[in-house]
């Protein structure tokens, strides 16, 4: 009976520990899925922002290039029209054209650099946010796993203590019953011995009574 009770206690202990472990694993997997989905979503947003800034930069560069070409064409037209009459004026206009072209080229490059810097800043920011979110989710997952591990260990300790207490109680009960049976056996032996001595003492009287 003691072995059967211990086996049942061990089965209950193992079942409770397995249930806590399964819950811990489920929550750990859920946090991992949430973390992966968040990182993927932030990565998609980052890529979209990069594409958007690239499109804006290209569009601005195209516009500035068009403006530069238009100004160059305009100065070329003016220079050509004035060339026939004023050679010196044509040279001045040519210089002005070149200067304007340089200014516009510089402006285009500066704008492209600014947009590139802005794009890099946004990418870095989203990368930091993505990494921070991943770290937070990882820490939360670890905290929950640790908590369930503590609960599992505490439950295992409690079940082990309960098992030991039941085993001790059955041992005490068995020992007490054995003592009672031993006392009863000794008492019965004493009674039989007393009865035997009483019969032995009365036996002569019984024999005399029979003879009469």
| Each residue's pLDDT tens digit, 143-158 | 988 998 888 889 888 9
Q: Which helix (H) or strand (E) holds 152?
A: helix 87-211
Tell which residue, 144, 63, 152, 69, has the closest CA to residue 111: 63
Task: Indicate if the pLDDT at residue 89 is higher than 70.
Answer: no
Per-residue confidence at 9, pLDDT binned at 50, 70, 90? very low
Residue 81 neighbours by CB distance under 10 Å: 12
Give the least confident one: 5-9, 60-64, 119-123, 135-139.
5-9
Give SS3 for 85.
coil
Taking the C-alpha atoms of residue 73 and residue 78, their distance in angstroms, rounded to an integer, is: 9
CA-based radius of gyration for the chain = 51
């Amino acid at each position: 009976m003691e072995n059967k009770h211990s086996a049942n206690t061990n089965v209950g202990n193992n079942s409770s520990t397995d249930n806590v472990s399964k819950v811990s694993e489920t929550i750990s997997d859920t946090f991992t899925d949430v973390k992966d989905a968040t990182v993927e979503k932030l990565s998609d947003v980052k890529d979209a922002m990069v594409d958007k800034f690239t499109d804006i930069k290209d569009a601005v560069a195209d516009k500035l290039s068009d403006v530069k070409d238009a100004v160059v064409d305009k100065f070329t037209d003016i220079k050509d029209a004035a060339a026939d009459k004023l050679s010196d004026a044509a040279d001045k206009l040519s210089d002005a054209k070149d200067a304007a072209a340089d200014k516009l080229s510089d402006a285009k490059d500066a704008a492209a650099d600014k947009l590139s810097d802005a794009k890099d800043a946004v990418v870095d920011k989203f990368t930091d946010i993505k990494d921070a979110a991943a770290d937070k989710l990882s820490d939360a997952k670890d905290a929950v796993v640790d908590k369930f591990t503590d609960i599992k260990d505490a439950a295992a300790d409690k079940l082990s203590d309960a098992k030991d207490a039941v085993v001790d109680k059955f041992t005490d009960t068995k020992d007490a019953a054995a003592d009672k049976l031993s006392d009863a056996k000794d008492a019965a032996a004493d009674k039989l011995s007393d009865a035997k001595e009483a019969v032995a003492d009365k036996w002569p009287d019984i024999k005399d009574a029979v003879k009469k």
